[in-house]
């Protein structure tokens, strides 16, 4: 399956860095466990943000809830990116050709675009709302898209090994 | 409510995918036994792999993660180049001449890989 993969990924898989990940008895499993722990933190933070955007937790104004959850989400996403890179590097040439892995990357891109759209066009209005206010449609759409996209990302991630 | 529906739909979809794919892309309906000398051996994560010169062709045999191999007694020495191995497992439906071993036998001793 490594035949026909883009050269840069084949080179990465064949690098000393990737070999050391594969040959270490603990590095790959540690990256795997770390990826899941960061996933849990990321999903938890996202769930809080998305529920708030959909109109839940309305007893408190949106800004402090979203702000704290956002910080955790960013830290967890950084952790997932780092551990994910280790997992990817070990099998880069193979993963580059895996259809589910490719779909996962596209969905991650969609998730980040959704974040960018919200940040640019909805965040300011949302974070000035008082407690109990109805959420604007742009915020509800962003929350709904976020939940849908990131669950699909997680499902793809778990499915990579089966394709 | 929309959230609940979305979560439920995703859970159903992924559940169906997993139920169908059991042990990855290997055809459990066509088990094969690959026997012969070990030509190459990579004792690496996520799975150790060996190539085996069988009577019909050279097979790539996917084994288990190294920590499991070691805990089952199938150390790097057991799957070293030159040893004779017999691997029972399932052929890949994706990669040519690759199979995943359910168990291997070396020197009369069997090691479970699952």
Beta pairing, strands B84-91 & B98-106: antiparallel
Architecture of domain B25-112: Beta Barrel (2.40)
Contacts of B67 in chain A (CB under 8 A): 25, 29
Spell out the SS3 assignment of chain B.
CHHHHHHHHHHHHHHHHHHHHCCCCECCCCCEEEEEEEEEEECCCCCCEEEEECCCCEEEEECCCHHHHHHCCCCCCCCCCCCEEEEEEEEECCCCCEEEEEEEEECCEEEECC
Percent of chain B whose predicted confidence (pLDDT) is above 70: 79
Domain ranges in chain A are 7-162
Find tokens 């509800």 and name the residue.
A140
- Chain A contacts to B (CB-CB under 8 A): 1, 19, 21-25, 27-29, 50-51, 54, 90-91, 144, 147-148, 151-152, 155, 158-159, 161-163
What is the rounded CA–CA span in Å between residue B46 and residue B35? 23
For testing the chain B interface, which of A29, A88, A107, A150 should be mutated: the one with the most B CBs within 10 Å?
A29
Segment A54-91, tens digit of pLDDT: 999 999 999 999 999 999 999 999 999 999 999 999 99
Segment B85-111, tens digit of pLDDT: 999 999 999 889 999 999 999 999 999
What is the rounded CA–CA span in Å between residue A79 and residue B29? 40
CB-nearest partner of A25 from B10, B66, B94:
B66
ipTM of the complex: 0.75
In order of A4, A52, A54, A75, A154, the CA distances from A69 in angstroms are 42, 10, 15, 10, 19
State the CB neighbour count (10 A cutoff) for residue B93.
11
Alpha helices in A91-122 (DSSP H): 92-95, 99-121
Contact B94 A163 (CB under 8 A): yes
Whole-prediction pTM: 0.82
Contacts of B10 in chain A (CB under 8 A): 148, 151-152, 155
Q: Are A3 and A38 in contact (CB under 8 A)?
A: no
- Give the pLDDT confidence score for residue A161 in this predicted structure: 86
- CA of B6, closest CA in chain A: separation in Å? 7
What is the rounded CA–CA span in Å between residue A143 and residue A46? 9
CB-nearest partner of A152 from B10, B25, B65:
B10
Closest residue, chain B, to A87 (C-alpha): B46
Tell me the CA end-to-end span of chain A in Å, nearest whole number.
11
Contacts of B12 in chain A (CB under 8 A): none
């Amino acid at each position: 399956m490594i035949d026909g993969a883009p050269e840069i990924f084949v080179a990465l898989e064949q690098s000393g860095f990737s070999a050391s990940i594969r040959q270490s008895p603990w590095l790959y499993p540690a990256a795997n466990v770390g990826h899941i722990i960061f996933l849990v933190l990321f999903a938890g933070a996202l769930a809080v943000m998305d529920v708030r955007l959909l109109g839940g937790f309305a007893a408190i104004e949106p800004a402090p809830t979203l702000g704290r959850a956002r910080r955790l989400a960013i830290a967890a996403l950084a952790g997932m990116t780092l551990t994910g890179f280790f997992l990817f590097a070990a099998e880069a040439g193979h993963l580059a050709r895996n259809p589910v892995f490719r779909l996962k990357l596209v969905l991650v891109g969609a998730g980040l675009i959704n974040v960018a759209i919200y940040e640019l066009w909805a965040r300011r209005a949302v974070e000035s709302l008082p407690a109990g206010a109805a959420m604007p449609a742009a915020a509800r759409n962003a929350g709904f898209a976020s939940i849908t996209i990131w669950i699909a990302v997680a499902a793809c991630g778990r499915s990579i090994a089966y394709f | 409510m929309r959230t609940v529906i979305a979560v439920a739909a995703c859970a159903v979809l992924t559940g169906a995918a997993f139920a169908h794919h059991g042990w990855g892309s290997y055809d459990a309906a066509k088990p094969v036994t690959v026997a012969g000398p070990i030509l190459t051996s990579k004792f690496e994560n996520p799975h150790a792999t060996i190539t085996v010169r069988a009577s019909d062709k050279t097979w790539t045999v996917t084994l288990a993660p190294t920590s499991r191999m070691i805990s089952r007694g199938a150390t790097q020495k057991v799957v070293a180049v030159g040893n004779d191995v017999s691997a029972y497992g399932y052929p890949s439906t994706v990669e040519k001449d690759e199979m995943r071993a359910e168990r291997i036998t070396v020197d009369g001793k069997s090691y479970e890989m699952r």
